[in-house]
Chains A and B, each alone.
Chain A
């Protein structure tokens, strides 16, 4: 049906658009990364990234921490949600997605006001004679901001994967001798693997490339890759070639992360085959 030759041309404007505004720009990034300001080929930009290895390491570490925390916090939520009745699931899902519709900058700003030295949390702690704690402008605050912003991206794929697990599968595990912990390790986690893989990607990729969260909650001392790139393109250290090299490096990190999680997924598929 609808497979006439002429209807194929309907995709032409789209393909042209994607070619010009997606594919070509990515090649421009690669080209810029491998040339200097005069347009000559150089590996200098890539070599220079080495100077920022501590920033790259920090980005990876903080994003990984945030991803693990999201997974630990989100797994039970996804499970409980998937066991609710359909109409309740619908409402709970709405409630989980609702904060996501709120602008990301405003959500992060909310934490800024909560964490600051004379913010609400320190005020509360003061009532118990604790503090004031130095919370804002720390690495911990950056991780908190990541967890807060990206937790729903972990919960949703976990929930989706776990809705496919029938109650009777869990009952079968118990029936055959699994206690709660073993039901988790032998049945739930293996079956939720595709959701875990998607969730890790969906949290790690934006977390490792953010620059807003680090800027708003990390102060000047917790630069991430995203901050470096932003500084090269729009900031004081304007250098498009170095910025492109950094973007390329970030892209490689992201691709590595995704091939890692998808291999995770394939393992799962082999078990099925």
Chain B
């Protein structure tokens, strides 16, 4: 067995009121890894997290922790802790007592407990806030208390359920970096749930893309972004142009009435496929030299780039470019072999 494995899910099935939420899901999580479950709402990502935490007992399948079966173990006996979506801080306790909660249950003597709690508060940047009530804290501060409350128990795995969902954009970006820093410093496993693809790509070592109770793809952020395995992932992660095409032969694909060389092979001759092109991977050239030509419908300034909607043989393409074209203009478009991703149509 792999030494570095910490959590293994084997064929997990969860039903709610006769509806299948997790459909025989299997997954290995390695120690000291930052893993993110990414997917739209209702895809089963939070349910998976709750199975690991012990709040949900699966109908079938098993949960292994450190190689031991913990499927039926109640949450209070597991070596994992959770940071909840809306923090779930205890409103009747102040900041110090919230963080001390778990240690007090373990009957840790006061002289050991106090410095531990204070140290943890310092780590999350809340030194001096011990006596504050929960309602006197901002969302970001409450978030930090929730993290400190979990981490002070020294869990092997920290589970985070969309912890940044309630924060504004700027604070969210700050906390993303901070969480990543914490994970590196404390050197423990983080399992993170989000529906925000940017968040997932920024923070994770491994991204698990989920949809409808199944895992769609597991891989590094780069893999997921550059080599989406199906149209769902391509659509969900970033903007994509997805068009139907024919794989003429290895390294040659035809779509929009033009043959493009590409880097994919292993398909049957003339197999119908889907082609994914990221909007920033389309180069704009003079119409005469373009592989494709299109009519610019509209142009929107987005700060870093211009977003253009271009009509190519009746299909609308999305193109990101640092140079603006004019609406009504005819442009040429080139796509390099590396920028073309081929997906078979079966998986759709």
Quick check: do A and B touch in the complex, using CB within 8 A? Answer: yes
Q: State the A residues within 8 Å of B (CB).
A: 166, 168-169, 171-179, 182, 186-187, 190-191, 193, 268, 271-273
B75 within 8 A of A: yes
Question: In the complex, are the beta carbons of B53 and A175 less than 8 A apart?
Answer: yes
Rounded to whole Å, the gap between the CB of B54 and the closest CB of chain A is 8
Q: Please, how many angstroms separate the alpha-carbon atoms of A226 and B86 in the complex?
A: 50
For the A-B complex with A172-B82, A176-B76 known, give 4 more contacts whose Cβ atoms are closer than 8 Å.
A176-B102, A179-B76, A271-B93, A272-B91
Question: Does B160 sit at the interface, judged by CB under 8 A?
Answer: no
* Interfacial residues of chain B within 74-115, with CB under 8 A of chain A in the complex: 74-76, 80-82, 84-86, 88-94, 101-102, 105-106
Query: How many interface residues does B have (CB within 8 Å)?
Result: 29
Top 5 A-B residue pairs of the complex, sorted by shortest distance between their CB atoms: A168-B88, A176-B102, A172-B88, A177-B105, A174-B75
A177 & B94 in contact (Cβ 8 Å cutoff): no
Q: Is the contact region of chain A dominated by helix, strand, or loop, or is it mixed? A: helix
Which residue of chain B is the closest to A165 with respect to CB atoms?
A: B91
B133, CB-defined interface residue at 8 Å: yes
A174-B76, A175-B81, A176-B153 known; A166+B92 contact, CB < 8 A: no
Q: Please list the residues of chain B having a beta carbon within 8 angstroms of any beta carbon in chain A.
A: 53-55, 74-76, 80-82, 84-86, 88-94, 101-102, 105-106, 133-135, 149-150, 153
Task: Find out whether the CB atom of B76 lies under 8 angstroms from the CB atom of A178.
Answer: yes
Give the residues in chain B near A190, CB-CB below 8 Å. 92
**Assuming A171-B88, A177-B153, is B94 touching A271 (CB within 8 A)?**
yes
B84–A172 CB distance below 8 A: yes
Alpha-carbon distance between A173 and B102 when the two chains are bound, in angstroms? 8
A187 and B90: CB pair below 8 A? Answer: yes
Contact assessment for A191 and B92 in the assembled complex, using a CB-CB cutoff below 8 Å: yes
11 contacts between A and B (CB under 8 A): A168-B84, A168-B86, A169-B90, A171-B88, A172-B89, A174-B76, A175-B75, A176-B101, A177-B102, A178-B105, A191-B91
- Do residues A271 and B153 form an inter-chain contact, with CB atoms below 8 A? no
Bound complex: CA A177 to CA B89 (Å)? 15
Q: Note all chain A residues with C-beta closer than 8 A to B80.
A: 175
Bound together, the chains give a CA A176 to CA B92 distance in angstroms of 16
Say whether A169 contacts B88, CB under 8 Å: yes
A168 touches B102 (CB 8 A): no
CA distance A171 to B88 in the complex (A): 8
Give the complex CA separation of A49 and B17 in angstroms.
63
Q: Which residues of A contact B92 (CB under 8 A)?
A: 187, 190-191, 193, 268, 271-272
CA distance A30 to B329 in the complex (A): 94
Residues in B neighbouring A168, C-beta threshold 8 A:
84-86, 88
> Which residues of A sit under 8 angstroms from B105, Cβ to Cβ?
176-178, 182, 186
Nearest Cβ on chain A to B191's Cβ, whole angstroms: 13
Minimal Cβ-Cβ distance residue in B for A169: B88
A171 and B75 contact, CB distance less than 8 A: yes
In the complex, the chain B residue whose C-beta lies closest to that of A164 is: B91
Cα distance, A172 to B84, chains bound together (Å): 8
Which of chain A's residues has its CB closest to B91's CB?
A: A272
Complex CA distance for A182 and B90, rounded to whole angstroms: 14
A191 and B93 alpha carbons, distance in the complex (Å): 10
Taken together as a complex, chains A and B put the C-alpha atoms of A211 and B105 apart, in Å, by: 48
Q: Which of B94, B101, B106 has the most CB of A within 10 A?
A: B101
Is B133's CB under 8 angstroms from A166's CB?
A: no
